[in-house]
Amino acid sequence: MSTEVKIPAVGESITSGVLSGWLKQNGEPVTDGEPIFSLETDKISTEVPAPASGTLQIMVAAGEEVKIGQIVGMIDAADGAAKTEPKETAARATVTAVKTEDSAKEEALLSPAVRRLAAEEKIPLTEVTGTGKHGQVTKGDLINYLERPAKKEVEDLSSEALAKEEPKPGSKPAAAAPVESKAAVPSVPVSTDGRSVRRKMSPLRKKIAAQLVMAQQNAAMLTTFNECDMTAVMGLKSSYQEAFQKRHGTKLGFMSFFIKAVVDALQVVPAMNARIDGDDLVENHYYDIGVAVGTERGLVVPVVRDADKKSFAELESVVAGFATKAREGKLQLDELTGGVFTITNGGIYGSLLSTPILNPPQSGILGMHKIQKRPVAIGEKIEIRPMMYLALSYDHRVVDGKEAVTFLVRVKDCIEDPTRLLLQG
């Protein structure tokens, strides 16, 4: 008896993904519940377990785009089960087995970064010449492969076009078929001298692009700015960093202060903790805060649940864990959904000021920026202080200007006088 290995449903809005790699080789025995392949979608990267025990027969090679519910392999419960398989399925498994067995040994020696890039760009590793130790393929080899002239692709497109335009004498005209995007002539010519490269967008990048455009089109987005003096927070970090890290096993950073400040401001200005759903206004009474994390694959926003109930140490630990998971591509779908407000920190990349874009369906996002020493007026004196610009983008359909400014000033006050976060003053 054989069991089908299918691509599982991983979210309501997700219809496809990339089978980034097989964790088991073709013909290898697997056990029920054991992870057998990795699936990457526009939101998460996850390992899919085997639906049964038996011998694995791989039908779809690593790096292929797959649909939810698609059959990518079979698991034979017994040795004789393969004889009862349909001829077409057995033949397809045999063809893919040759490719999989040859590449499985090579993929086992590749670094995670190389495997991820090869999966995202769908690079056939057999065509890449490795320059690493023992001929191992490196990330630089993949980049060089992608930057090769696209002459062959252009020639293939031209040949295909000529074949369609010039049918053989006496042959019947073929029925019209829809033209796929990959066979269409590019709107902008592709350079064949190595000056430019055309490649497909990754699922995550396409999702990010769609979300940003949707946010711009579907919300009355406005941004208000302010600046805050980071002297007090930086003083606390300097004074208690060693003891904090020794006791809690994690560093004390700026993010926990800003999460606490945002929660406090949301409690003072509840209009910011609301969103539009159709013709309804949904008011939230919980504080799940999204924290934007940059990765090689793009920006992801894991959510810190019940941030109002967590200590500074718990917040720092959760955020650090999210950063590690994001870099390794191990964030789960439930960790990326359900936030009521988002914080993004462009300052770690050197940004001095920017206007963050809303993370739908949320009504607000706070942008942190680079800390820069500037002369500021303190009473009647001019002093040099570490200052940070803050930017609050909000949906003007939900939040009025007065409420937005009040919210941002409250965040500023909490950062400049952190005792407010303890005394709720």
Phi, psi for 75 (deg, rounded to 5): -120, 115
Per-residue pLDDT of 156-167, as tens digits, reads: 444 444 444 444
Nearest to 58 by CA among 16, 94, 108, 7: 94
pLDDT tens column, 348-359: 999 999 999 998
- pLDDT of 94 strictly over 60: no
Calculate mean pLDDT across residues 42-47: 72
**Residue in 42, 334, 400, 413 annotated catalytic:** 400
Q: What is the pLDDT of residues 175-188, one digit of tens each?
A: 444 434 344 445 56
Out of 32, 102, 334, 396, the active site residue is 396
- Return the CATH fold of 205-423: Chloramphenicol Acetyltransferase (3.30.559)
Closest by CA position to 20, among listed 122, 89, 159, 95:
122
Name the pairing type of β-strands 35-40 and 16-22.
Answer: antiparallel
What torsion, rounded to 10 degrees, do the Cα atoms 211, 216, 219, 220 define?
A: 160
Q: What confidence score (pLDDT) does residue 152 get?
A: 44
Average pLDDT over residues 24-33: 91
Measured CA distances, 204 to 17, 217, 302 (Å):
9, 20, 14
For the question of residue 396 being annotated catalytic, the response is: yes
50-80 residue pLDDT tens:
999 999 999 998 878 888 889 999 999 865 4
Q: What pLDDT does 266 receive? A: 97
Listed in order, the ranges of the chain carrying CATH 2.40.50.100 are: 2-108
Other CB atoms within a 10 A radius of the CB of residue 339 amount to 22
Helices (H), 75-166: 87-108, 112-121, 139-146, 151-165
- Ranges of CATH 3.30.559.10 domains, the chain: 205-423
Tell me the mean pLDDT in the region 220-236: 96
Top-level class of domain 2-108: mainly beta
Q: Give the pLDDT confidence score for residue 203 in this predicted structure.
A: 67
Residue 151 has pLDDT above 50, yes or no: no
Tell me, yes or no, if 306 is annotated catalytic.
no
Identify which has the larger pLDDT, 425 or 315: 315
Least confident stretch, 146-150, 315-319, 332-336, 404-408: 146-150
Residue 387: band (very low, low, confident or very high) from pLDDT cuts 50, 70, 90? very high
Gap between the Cα atoms of 193 and 195, Å rounded: 6
| Rounded-to-10 torsion of CA 272, 277, 279, 281 | -30
